């Protein structure tokens, strides 16, 4: 896979992973900054476009209040990533193969378009995106600058610029639905088979985020997954 394809996969998965890890640090934030976790259950559809990509891809993200659990559905619907902030666990669902894998200790992942408490924020305006008002923030990190538009209840509706790894791109919400999300949304279906994968260690390593790009329909290459 070329670098652009890898970045697209990281962007889609990193959206949820990044929001999960940012939410876990929200209590430590100081100064004027946007909310770092959603305050209500919501389902948001985004157009996600890495820099240089010919067009955006549509990604659906499911948020629970307080950011404890999240789910991302891939653009083609072939895969989903479920995140549990409380347990720091990531579950990858591959729908065509009807299998899932659980990963833990993913604290070392760097996350595209993550609003992080280590960044500097400057408020400078408001917008209306997908019919909802949001506040614009300039975001400065060690890699560069970005802008983000965040609602008063913690949903990122738009973001553009440089992420914590120096990668460039943008995302824009096209629809937002506030609704109570059933807990089953964040669990593997009962008829899916678990595939055991190596644990990803936390700490300083740059772990690969779950792949949710165009090639996400490929099952994990473990012996247990063969034939599924």
pLDDT at 160 over 80: yes
- Residue range 84-139, pLDDT digits in tens: 877 778 899 999 999 999 986 555 444 444 566 777 888 989 999 999 999 999 88
pLDDT recorded at residue 176: 97
12-21, 65-74, 106-115 — which is least confidently predicted? 12-21
Contact at 8 Å (CB) between 130 and 151? Answer: no
Q: Which range is most confident: 8-17, 38-47, 117-126?
A: 38-47
Q: Which domains does the chain have, with CATH numbers?
A: 3-225 (2.50.20.10)
| Entry pTM | 0.71
DSSP codes joined into one string, 5-38: HHHHHHHHHHHHHHHHHHHHTGGG--SS---SS-
Contact at 8 Å (CB) between 20 and 85? Answer: yes
Contact at 8 Å (CB) between 83 and 14? Answer: no
Of 38, 51, 63, the residue nearest 146 (C-alpha)? 51
Between strands 99-104 and 79-84, the pairing is unpaired
Average pLDDT for the chain: 74
Q: How far apart are CA 140 and CA 131, in angstroms?
A: 27
Spell out a b/e string for 65-87, using b for 16 or more CB atoms within 10 Å of the CB, else e. bbbbbbbbbbbbebbbbbbbbee
DSSP codes joined into one string, 157-198: EEEEEE-TTS-EEEEEEEEEE--PPPGGGGS--TTPEE---P
């Amino acid at each position: 896979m070329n670098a652009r394809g890898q970045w697209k996969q990281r962007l889609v998965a990193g959206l949820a992973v990044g929001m999960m890890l940012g939410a876990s640090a929200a209590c430590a934030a100081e100064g004027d900054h946007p909310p770092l976790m959603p305050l209500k259950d919501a389902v948001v559809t985004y157009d996600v476009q890495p820099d240089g990509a010919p067009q955006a891809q549509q990604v659906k993200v499911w948020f629970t209040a307080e950011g404890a659990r999240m789910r991302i559905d891939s653009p083609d619907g072939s895969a989903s990533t479920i995140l549990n902030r409380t347990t720091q666990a990531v579950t990858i669902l591959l729908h065509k193969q009807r299998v899932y894998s659980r990963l833990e200790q993913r604290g070392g992942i760097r996350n595209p378009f993550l609003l992080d408490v280590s960044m500097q924020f400057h408020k400078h305006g408001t917008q209306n995106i997908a019919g909802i008002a949001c506040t614009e923030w300039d975001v400065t990190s060690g890699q560069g600058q970005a802008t983000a538009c965040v609602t008063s209840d913690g949903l990122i509706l738009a973001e553009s610029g440089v992420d914590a790894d120096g990668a460039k791109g943008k995302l824009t919400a096209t629809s937002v639905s506030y609704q109570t999300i059933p807990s089953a949304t964040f669990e593997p279906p009962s008829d899916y088979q678990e595939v055991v994968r190596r644990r990803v260690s936390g700490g300083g390593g740059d772990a690969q985020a779950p792949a949710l790009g165009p090639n996400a329909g490929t099952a994990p290459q473990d012996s247990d997954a063969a034939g599924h």
